[in-house]
Every structure is written in C-alpha cells, then in structure tokens.
Structure 1
Amino acid sequence: MAADHARRTRSTSPRPSDIKTPERCPHCNSTRLVKKGTRTKKLETVAMMKCKACGRTFTPGPRALRNKTYPLTEILEAITTYNRGHSLAETSALLSSRYGHTVSGPTISRWVNQHLALTTYSRLRSAGKRLYSPRRLIRTSKLYHRQVYEFAYHRAKLDLLRKGMLDPFIQSRASQPFQRLANFIESIPTACPHALFTREDAVRGSQLGAAFIDTGSLQVIERQNAATDTAALIIPGVGSNHQRHALLQRFMLVNDAATIAVEVPIWLDEAGIASLEAEHGIELVPKQVSPDGGHAPRQVTGHIDFLQVRNGCLHILDYKPDARTNQPFAQLTIYALALTRLVPGLRLFNIKCAWFNETAYNEFYPRKLVL
C-alpha cells in the first residue's frame, strides 16, 4: 500500500523542471531576461521568463518541445530506449515503471516519428536487433585518465561498418581502413596505455599550440546539420552543465546512424610523434633539450568527443559551447594525425574534422593544414 501511495504521489505531484535557464530571448536575442513566475504542467513545473527588451514572456526549453505534456528527459529517454531495440510495449513499461506514470506506446511512436531526422539509426534498427540485445548494444567503459571519461561504442554499427552496410558511400576497395577502425575502437579498453594519460609530462591535445599548422589556405565550411539540430534539442533542455555533454553523446550514439563511438582516447608516443613530424615536415611538440644534447620523450594524449562515419569519410567532432569564437584547429588536427598512426591504412584524406554547438557546425579538412 505504501508503494502504491508513493507511485500515486510521484505521478500527481509535478516536479521542478531541469530545463536550462536561457541566456537570450528566443524572440529578439536580448540578454535582458528576468524570471516571471512559474507554469505548472501536468508532470512538471517550469519557470517562466520575461524579456525586458521586447516585453515577451516565454517558457524556456527547445522550441519543438515547449508545449509538450511530458518532460524533455522522458521524451529523449523513450526515443533512446526504443532505438536500443526495445519494442514500443517494452519501452512503455520501462518508462512507466521508472517515472511512476503511464507513457503509452502510441505516444512513444509519435515522439519517434516526430524526430526521424535526428534518429537515422531507425533504418538500421532491425539489423541491429538481429545482432545484439538492447542490453548488449552499447559497450561502455570508464577510463580513469586524470578525470573520468565514459568511453562508449555502438557494437551493431561497428559490425555493420565491417560488412559495408553502415555507409553506402564506402566502396569495398576502400573499406579496409574502416574495418581496422572498428577493430581499434573495440580494442581500446585493453590496448589503451591508460597510465600514459595520468602522466604529468604528457601533453594534452587540447593544449597544443598551433605552430605546426598553416591556416593560410584553410577553408572552413559553416553549416547546420543533424549535429546542430540535435544539440539544439538537447542542450537547452538540460539544466546541469555536467549532464548536457554526456546526454548529447548518449543520444547521438544510440539514435543517429553515423556516430560509432564517443570519448575515444587517442595517444602518441615519441616514436609516433617523430614519424608524423618526418612525414609532414612539421614539429608537433617542441623538444625539451637536455644538457647532453638529447631530449625527453614526448607524449600526446586526448579524447575525441564523437567519431562518425558518413559520406565515405571518418568525421571527428568536438562539441564547443563557444563554437563561434573557439577554433580548435590544432586540437582536431592532432586527433586526426594520431588516428592515422593508431589505425593502419587510415589516411588524412579519409578524415574530416568539425566543431559545433546548437547554432554552428564548422568543418574543415585536416590534410589542408599539414600537407
């Protein structure tokens, strides 16, 4: 009886929304915002905001979900649970049990169909179900590298990549490097030199200077695509800075057809650095010369936010909240160079790099910077 009462209390008492407080007015882009009371919905209480510039009152959160009965977190979880391979009935039962109120199968089906552009894995879902159960579809490993990283990869997508079924633009004669990429990703939990990532003398890829690259002839292509649209759906709806990034990664890994892994570690030792420097005629990491004329061994480490395979290329993506002003050319280029060492046969020609947020996706070819 007590448990029944707790479930009824959970389902009838709207909880505070965890939607991120907006920084700008969605109507006039002003930052002059003040809180203007709350709006109580069936399942959550949402803060109202007023813009002092244009005078309009609005509810925070992604525009597409602003008038939904269910909280954003439940909608995203329902879509993700379904695309992991659960049936609509199973997804309904799992969500209803977790949140204490009914989430019907037809409602979940409607959510899935409303976001088909962001959930392109739907075309591969049947094939994925034949390969792995929902529980085994995603493999996750915690990497204790100075801080904790949640490395994860999509097992069905890697299998389909090996079979030439993930990306129709990868021809059979060019598929071998991508097959080796799948092997590399699966080997990371055991093959990664984890101790290297905790050393104080290892240089982080995000901290490298840009002296080794030449941006003079670089062309950056700015666009909006599924990555920006997914970020625009998820980021404004999550109040915790820590959770936003992880939720975006988990959603894209399960739901789009391109993302094969997240938080992928990369590393280079002295031999790898020297080989790349000789191949491209650059100096990646300055040498610390010792009194005897030698130098200390150099190491570079880093973690790739998203790895995608689409349109015949490997895409290295980095989420940057300040994507308009932050230009991580050196960081992303070192990630690309490291992968050409870690994955036999993979070339810079096969790789594109990009950084993005909710409004901007900036893409470039790393081979243009070092060749």
Structure 2
Amino acid sequence: IKQVSLSHGWFYHYRIHSEKAKTLCNEEYSKLNSFLLNNLNNCPDEYFKNGPRGSTLRFSIPIKKKEHSNHEISRLCSQGLKTMNNYKTTHSKVQVFMLQFDKNTISVETPIWLLSDELNGFESIFNETKPLSGHIDILRVEDDKKIWVWDYKPKAEFERFAATQVYFYSLTMHLRTGIPLDNFMCGYFDENVAYTFKPEENVLLELRSQRLKEKTL
C-alpha cells in the first residue's frame, strides 16, 4: 500500500494498493492506474483550495437508484467498523479494511478535480467557475469489470445529495482518464444499506435545461 497525506483544507490520506491496481487496471484501464500513481507525487493541490466540493453539492440529479439491503460493500463496511480498532474515524476503519482485505478495492480518498473549461455548462450547473474537487472514498474495479465510485455515508438512508456527489466524481474520473462513462458505476453505503446507479450523460442535459428554466423565470 502506497500513501500520501494531502493538505486539501483538511488532511486526506490517499492510499493505493499498487498490486491490485496494476492487476485490475490492465489494458483498457491502464490510464486509470497511471492517474492513481501520478497523484501520489503530482496532485495539483491548488485546485482544492477554492471552488465547490463534491461533498457540499446541494442539488438533486434525475437518476433512478437501486436499494440493496445485503450488499457486499455493506458487509465489508461492517467488518471494517468491528475490526479496525487502531483507527479513530469510521471512514478510516472502513477504507483501510477494504484496501487491505477486499480483492476489488484499489484506492481510497482518491483526489479528483474538474476545471470549468472541461465541462460544457459548468458555470450554470455549479454557479461557479473555480474547479470542482473532492476525494473518492472507495474506488473498486468489481467482478462486472466496471469501475465503481463509492462513498461511505454513515447514515446512508437519510442522504439527500450523495448521488449527486458520486455522479460528478464518476463523470470527472471519466474526463480525467478518457475511460468511457459507460464503464463506470456509482454508489453510496453504510453497514446496513447501499444505493447504486449507472451514471448517464443525459443527467447533464437535464441539469442544464433545468438551470436555463430557472434563469428565465
């Protein structure tokens, strides 16, 4: 496991399991592996100082999510919370457990950023021109060969905007790596329940249309 502490308004412990990443990100996902490794030493910290954060976005997106009461990731979460007593925070317990013991988890607290000129309609969507940034709690390449962008939410069933957060994280990872959005899946979870959905391009079209209507009212 390789790690670096990133000072992005708070200290984020970015960790990669380099062997799993190398194995799971071969061929079509080689750009993802390169991105993860490059961030260890060359993360552009200036993009994380100002601008919107994925975790603070407060608008809903038009997606249909599935609810899972006995998902694998919830079981892993439960194990991490029970066994990783040498870590103080629930996030660290879950993240480090999965990175160490789950065969599909390749990185945790993965830094991600999106510049305004990289997304059509950025300013209308976020009411901002400074970069969107954030950290992906759990990044997995699962048995379905999809790249899963997961966020751990201790009270997942009460979350209103978690889907928005992981949607833009997956969209950003797609834009950073050039890997088709169709190869990504999104989810958020706790030890009891998980919610999943497929990120679609049409979400952006609907958001832009919605913002346009709001401005004309």
SS of alignment partner, residue 214 of structure 1: coil
Q: 1:350 aligns with which of 173, 180, 183?
A: 183
Report if the CA contact (8 A) 2:85-2:93 is conserved: no
| Deviation string, structure 1 residues 256-293 (Cα, Å, up to 9, x no partner) | 1110000001101121233xx38xxx943124xxxxxx
Residue 246 of structure 1 is matched in structure 2 by 92
SS of alignment partner, residue 358 of structure 1: coil
SS of alignment partner, residue 312 of structure 1: coil
Alignment of 1:286-301 (within 5 A): 286-287=127-128, 297-301=129-133
Q: Does 1:267 find its partner at 2:99?
A: no
Residue 159 of structure 2 is matched in structure 1 by 326
Give me the whole-angstrom Cα distance separating, in 2, the residues matched to 1:259 and 1:298. 30
Q: 2:8 aligns with which of 131, 137, 145?
A: 145
- What TM-score, normalized by structure 1, do the two folds share? 0.51
Please report how far the alpha carbon of residue 238 of structure 1 lies from its aligned counterpart in structure 2 after TM superposition: 6.5
Please report how far the alpha carbon of residue 252 of structure 1 lies from its aligned counterpart in structure 2 after TM superposition: 0.6
Q: Does 1:191 find its partner at 2:67?
A: no
Q: 2:193 aligns with which of 360, 368, 371?
A: 360
Alignment of 1:299-338 (within 5 A): 299-310=131-142, 311-327=144-160, 328-338=162-172
Report if the CA contact (8 A) 2:84-2:97 is conserved: no
SS of alignment partner, residue 46 of structure 2: helix
SS of alignment partner, residue 159 of structure 2: coil
Residue 203 of structure 1 is matched in structure 2 by 52
SS of alignment partner, residue 152 of structure 1: strand
Residue 213 of structure 2 is matched in structure 1 by none
Give me the whole-angstrom Cα distance separating, in 1, the residues matched to 2:188 and 2:6. 23
Report if the CA contact (8 A) 2:80-2:98 is conserved: no
Q: Give the 3 Å change call, closer, same or farther, for CA 219–192 of structure 1 in structure 2.
A: same
Please report how far the alpha carbon of residue 194 of structure 1 lies from its aligned counterpart in structure 2 after TM superposition: 0.5
Give me the whole-angstrom Cα distance separating, in 1, the residues matched to 2:111 and 2:67. 26
Report if the CA contact (8 A) 1:221-1:363 is conserved: yes
The structure with higher relative contact order (CA 8 Å, sep 6+) is 2
Q: 1:258 aligns with which of 92, 101, 104?
A: 104
Aligned length: 202
- What TM-score, normalized by structure 2, do the two folds share? 0.84
Alignment of 1:100-111 (within 5 A): none
Alignment of 1:99-248 (within 5 A): 138-163=1-26, 175-176=27-28, 178-199=29-50, 202-210=51-59, 213-215=61-63, 218-236=64-82, 242-248=88-94
| Deviation string, structure 1 residues 18-55 (Cα, Å, up to 9, x no partner) | xxxxxxxxxxxxxxxxxxxxxxxxxxxxxxxxxxxxxx
RMSD (CA atoms) = 2.3
Give me the whole-angstrom Cα distance separating, in 2, the residues matched to 1:357 and 1:339. 23
Report if the CA contact (8 A) 1:238-1:244 is conserved: no
SS of alignment partner, residue 324 of structure 1: helix
Larger radius of gyration: 1
Please report how far the alpha carbon of residue 335 of structure 1 lies from its aligned counterpart in structure 2 after TM superposition: 0.4
1:298 maps to amino acid: K
Residue 341 of structure 1 is matched in structure 2 by 175
Please report how far the alpha carbon of residue 366 of structure 1 lies from its aligned counterpart in structure 2 after TM superposition: 1.6
Please report how far the alpha carbon of residue 236 of structure 1 lies from its aligned counterpart in structure 2 after TM superposition: 4.6
Please report how far the alpha carbon of residue 237 of structure 1 lies from its aligned counterpart in structure 2 after TM superposition: 5.6
